[in-house]
Structure 1
């Protein structure tokens, strides 16, 4: 399957909007401005790595080395897509902070 520039742009936009929306909703409900920016790396580890959570406690060196190997073998397009999700999560925190400073109370 070919991965074109159009697929890349749509994927970047999708991740940006998706994690902005999820972060915005979590910020309104939990009233924690940067919650999604902290949760996002954990979500990405679940997506990238196929090691179970328990294995990080049972065999930490093996699990973290497998995670590092998976991170270093990501394609540049995948890195760009994942970084756009992180940018969306950060933008949701900045937006919520700006709205609160201007007097909007969310829930």
Structure 2
């Protein structure tokens, strides 16, 4: 499916806002500023790869070969969208750190 020039920025914004929100809430509740930035690569791999998560432990070699093939076939738009999600997770961590340094105690 071809992605139009209008869909790409909207998708990037949605991924940024989605993972910023999830990261902010997780950071606020778990009091770990970088939890979503650590979890996000796992989530991104689950989005990209078509192998079940348990297969990484049962058929390790084949699963990672499949993952490598899927990563090499990603389009530039997919990389941009996934990168904006990672940026949202990182900005959520930075925001929580700044708010805590300024004296706001969340939960």
Smaller-chain TM-score bracket: over 0.9
Q: What TM-score, normalized to structure 2?
A: 0.97
The CA distance in 1 between the partners of 2:83 and 2:53, in whole Å, is 23
Matched residue, 1:40: 40
Q: Does residue 3 of structure 2 align to residue 3 of structure 1?
A: yes
Superposed structure 1 runs of 4+ greater than 6 Å apart: none
Offset at residue 27 of structure 1 (A): 0.5
Separation of aligned partners in 2, 1:38 and 1:97: 15
Partner of 1:81: 81
Q: Which moved more, 1:84-93 or 1:48-57?
A: 48-57
Residue correspondences, number: 107
SS at match of 2:54: helix
Residue 55 of structure 1: how far off its partner (Å): 1.1
1:38 is displaced (CA, Å) by: 0.4
2:105 is aligned with 1:105: yes
RMSD after superposition: 0.8
Within-5 A mapping of 1:21-100? 21-100=21-100
| Cα displacement string for residues 9-65 of structure 1 (whole angstroms, at most 9, x for unaligned residues) | 000000001100000000011001000000001111111111112211111111001
